[in-house]
């Protein structure tokens, strides 16, 4: 598997820290509103990455935070006259609903910044002790950026250019007592009406970059395999995460940095501040969110992707085409009376496997979902052309299973909750008998329950097991 690593700006072979395992951290949303479909892009693409790596046999530890302390949350809370915790809790709940709709799996852990403040205070204390940070008179703590010899290595910015060019942008309000204007805030004093926590420097709250360092280390370790997020996070957020983590821990923070490109509208980044956005909820009123997911995956994750009504319609039609192919294969299976593969079908089945290989190759090339989707369509076309009422049940099942498996890896559900075929029921009953003989009663019960859920009732008789469909 090759991954484009922002750190080296090259596609590198992925080698995990520990064989068979992946420790991955993805910066999550700031929860002050419903998420927009730009925020949904990293969720969908990195969930797809996670699913693909799990399919390849990796155990993926996937951590993604909720930023629940932030100026925008406080502003919204003040506007509504409620506590900021009420705002963040509300939008975390809504975000999880959207994630479910888009078939984004819950992370292994979803830490919240407000529940990790102690860890952040410890990290800041450690940085002060090591000479990487300092507190000013009002209790603000800054990171001593220039002390980090490698600062800029992720964003490929030269510290002297920062000083000459963008330096002034980095100057924070009230930061007049900084030693150097490149220094960034780790802890800031409370203001009237804001949530705050105690610290040795003052009552206040942490800066944004510190939270991800603490959560990544706590849940995954000082060095992780992959850190990911949207490309707008490269600078300053991820650069500042690296600076703090590596200064405190003395080891590399993440081996691979993955960044998704922007979701644009009329070729401008979709964002709350520009007001040019659709929320995931808006889209869900018109479309099944699987269509949104499909649309997001039609581009390789690093390419910019332009959102339009036409492209959403095209995504809907395409997804429908896959679903139709799957239900046709099911229909044909019910019609046929042939069980096993013919010689000709054995040949065709090898050809079909070629599309699966093509899919894997595309995914192995830095998660090229655009080409992976093309491979699914080639397989769909192949299935449509080569299947009919006289195909064998085994062949039809093979084709269907392949289409469903590849779609599942992309998190796309293309299978109808279908009725079990008689032959499937009989195979399960046989398996249940064998399990009982082997005294594997757990498996036997599981099969009985599975059949019961599908409305199949079993009856043990003297002539053997009989079954019927519930009315
Ligand atoms: P935020 O809530 O702004 O911190 O963003 C949460 C995640 O969404 C981050 O990884 C951002 O990089 C990403 N993101 C925000 N807007 C877009 C966009 N228009 N296209 C792609 N990713 C975005
Ligand atoms: Zn982060």
408-437, pLDDT tens digit by residue?
Answer: 999 999 987 666 777 788 889 999 999 999
Residue 224 has pLDDT above 90, yes or no: yes
Question: From the CB of 226, is ligand 1 less than 6 Å away?
Answer: no
- Per-residue confidence (pLDDT) for residue 161, from 0 to 100: 78
CATH architecture of structural domain 2-260: 3-Layer(aba) Sandwich (3.40)
13 three-class SS = strand
- Per-residue confidence (pLDDT) for residue 418, from 0 to 100: 63
- Per-residue confidence (pLDDT) for residue 166, from 0 to 100: 46
Using a pLDDT cut of 90, give the percent of the chain over it: 84
Contacts 24+ apart (CB under 8 A), 204-209: 204/139, 204/140, 205/69, 205/117, 206/69, 206/113, 206/117, 206/120, 206/121, 206/124, 208/67, 208/70, 208/237, 209/184, 209/236, 209/237, 209/240, 209/241, 209/244
- From the options 2.130.10.10, 1.10.3720.10, 1.20.120.640, 3.40.50.300, give the CATH code of 309-409: 1.20.120.640
CA nearest 269: which of 29, 38, 30, 34? 38
Q: Quick one: which atom of ligand 1 is closest to the CA of 35?
A: 2
Question: From the CB of 230, is ligand 1 less than 6 Å away?
Answer: yes
- Per-residue confidence (pLDDT) for residue 45, from 0 to 100: 98
Q: How far is the CA of 238 from the centre of ligand 2 (A)?
A: 6
Question: From the CB of 271, is ligand 1 less than 6 Å away?
Answer: yes
pLDDT (mean) for 320-346: 95
- Closest residue to atom 7 of ligand 1, CA basis: 39
| pLDDT confidence band for 469 (50 / 70 / 90) | confident
Which of 246 and 444 is assigned the larger pLDDT? Answer: 246
Two structure tokens written together for 338? 């042939």
- Per-residue confidence (pLDDT) for residue 455, from 0 to 100: 85
Question: From the CB of 272, is ligand 1 less than 6 Å away?
Answer: no
Q: How far is the CA of 209 from the centre of ligand 2 (A)?
A: 6
Using a pLDDT cut of 70, give the percent of the chain over it: 97
**Residue bearing tokens 């520990």:** 18
pLDDT (mean) for 232-241: 97
Question: From the CB of 42, is ligand 1 less than 6 Å away?
Answer: yes
| Residues 6+ away with beta carbon under 8 Å from 205 | 69, 117, 187, 188, 190, 194, 195, 196, 197
Q: Torsion angle of alpha carbons 13, 18, 22, 25, nearest 10°?
A: -100
Q: Quick one: which atom of ligand 1 is closest to the CA of 39?
A: 8
Write out the DSSP string of 372-419. Answer: HHHHHHHHHHHHHHH--TTS-HHHHHHHHHHHHHHHHHTT------PP
Q: Which ligand has an atom closest to residue 254 CA? A: 2
213 three-class SS = helix
Residue 250 burial (C-beta neighbours within 10 Å; 0-12, 13-18, 19+)? exposed
Minimum mean pLDDT among 24-33, 40-49, 432-441: which range?
A: 432-441
- Per-residue confidence (pLDDT) for residue 164, from 0 to 100: 59
- Per-residue confidence (pLDDT) for residue 175, from 0 to 100: 63
Question: From the CB of 352, is ligand 1 less than 6 Å away?
Answer: no
Minimum mean pLDDT among 69-78, 209-218, 375-384: which range?
A: 69-78
Strand pairing of 21-26 and 224-230? parallel
Question: From the CB of 233, is ligand 1 less than 6 Å away?
Answer: yes
Question: pLDDT tens digits for 275-288?
Answer: 999 999 999 999 99
pLDDT (mean) for 364-380: 98
- Per-residue confidence (pLDDT) for residue 336, from 0 to 100: 92
Q: How far is the CA of 136 from the centre of ligand 1 (A)?
A: 32
pLDDT (mean) for 28-37: 96
- Closest residue to atom 1 of ligand 1, CA basis: 29
- Per-residue confidence (pLDDT) for residue 169, from 0 to 100: 47
Two structure tokens written together for 446? 């599981």
Minimum mean pLDDT among 2-16, 106-120, 197-211, 438-452: which range?
A: 438-452
As a whole number of angstroms, the distance between CA 305 and CA 263 comes to 5
Question: From the CB of 262, is ligand 1 less than 6 Å away?
Answer: yes
pTM score, whole prediction: 0.89
Across the chain, mean pLDDT equals 94
Q: Which ligand has an atom closest to residue 238 CA? A: 2
């Amino acid at each position: 598997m090759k991954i484009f690593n922002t750190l080296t700006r090259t596609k590198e072979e992925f080698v995990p820290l520990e064989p068979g395992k992946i420790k991955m951290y993805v910066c999550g949303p700031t929860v002050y509103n419903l998420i927009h479909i730009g925020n949904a892009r990293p969720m969908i693409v990195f969930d797809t990455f996670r699913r693909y790596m799990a399919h390849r046999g990796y155990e993926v530890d996937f951590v993604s935070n909720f930023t629940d302390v932030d100026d925008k949350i406080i502003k919204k809370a003040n506007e509504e006259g409620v506590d900021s915790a009420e705002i963040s809790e509300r939008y975390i709940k809504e975000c999880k609903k959207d994630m479910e709709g888009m078939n984004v799996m819950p992370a292994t852990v979803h830490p919240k910044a407000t529940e990790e403040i102690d860890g952040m205070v410890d990290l800041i204390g450690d940085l002060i002790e090591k000479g990487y940070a300092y507190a000013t008179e009002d209790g603000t703590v800054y990171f001593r950026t220039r002390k980090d010899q490698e600062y800029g290595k992720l964003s490929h910015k030269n510290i002297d250019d920062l000083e000459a060019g963008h330096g002034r942008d980095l100057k924070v309000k009230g930061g007049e007592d900084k030693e150097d204007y490149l220094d960034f805030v780790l802890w800031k004093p409370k203001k009237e009406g804001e949530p705050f926590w105690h610290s040795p420097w003052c009552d206040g709250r942490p800066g944004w970059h510190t939270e991800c360092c603490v959560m990544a280390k706590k849940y995954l370790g000082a060095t992780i395999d992959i850190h990911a997020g949207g490309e707008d996070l490269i600078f300053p957020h991820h650069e500042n995460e690296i600076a703090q983590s590596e200064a405190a821990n003395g080891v590399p923070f993440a081996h691979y940095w993955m960044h998704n490109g922007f979701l644009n509208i009329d070729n401008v980044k979709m964002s709350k501040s520009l007001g040019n956005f659709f929320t995931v909820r808006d889209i869900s009123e018109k479309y099944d969110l699987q269509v949104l997911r499909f649309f997001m995956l039609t581009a390789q994750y690093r390419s910019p992707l332009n959102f339009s009504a036409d492209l959403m319609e095209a995504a809907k039609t395409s997804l429908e085409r896959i679903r139709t192919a799957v239900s046709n294969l099911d229909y044909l299976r019910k019609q046929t009376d042939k069980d096993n593969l013919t010689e000709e079908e054995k040949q065709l089945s090898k050809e079909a496997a070629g599309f699966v290989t093509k899919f894997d190759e595309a995914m192995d090339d830095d998660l090229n979902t655009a080409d992976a989707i093309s491979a699914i369509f080639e397989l769909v076309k192949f299935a449509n052309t080569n299947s009919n009422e006289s195909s064998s049940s085994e062949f039809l099942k093979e084709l269907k299973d392949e289409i469903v498996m590849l779609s599942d890896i992309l998190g796309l559900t293309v299978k109808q909750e279908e009725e079990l075929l008689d032959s499937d029921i009989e195979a399960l009953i046989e398996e249940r008998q064998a399990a009982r003989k082997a005294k594997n009663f757990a498996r036997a019960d599981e099969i009985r329950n599975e059949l019961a859920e599908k409305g199949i009732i079993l009856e043990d008789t003297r002539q053997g097991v009989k079954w019927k469909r519930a009315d």
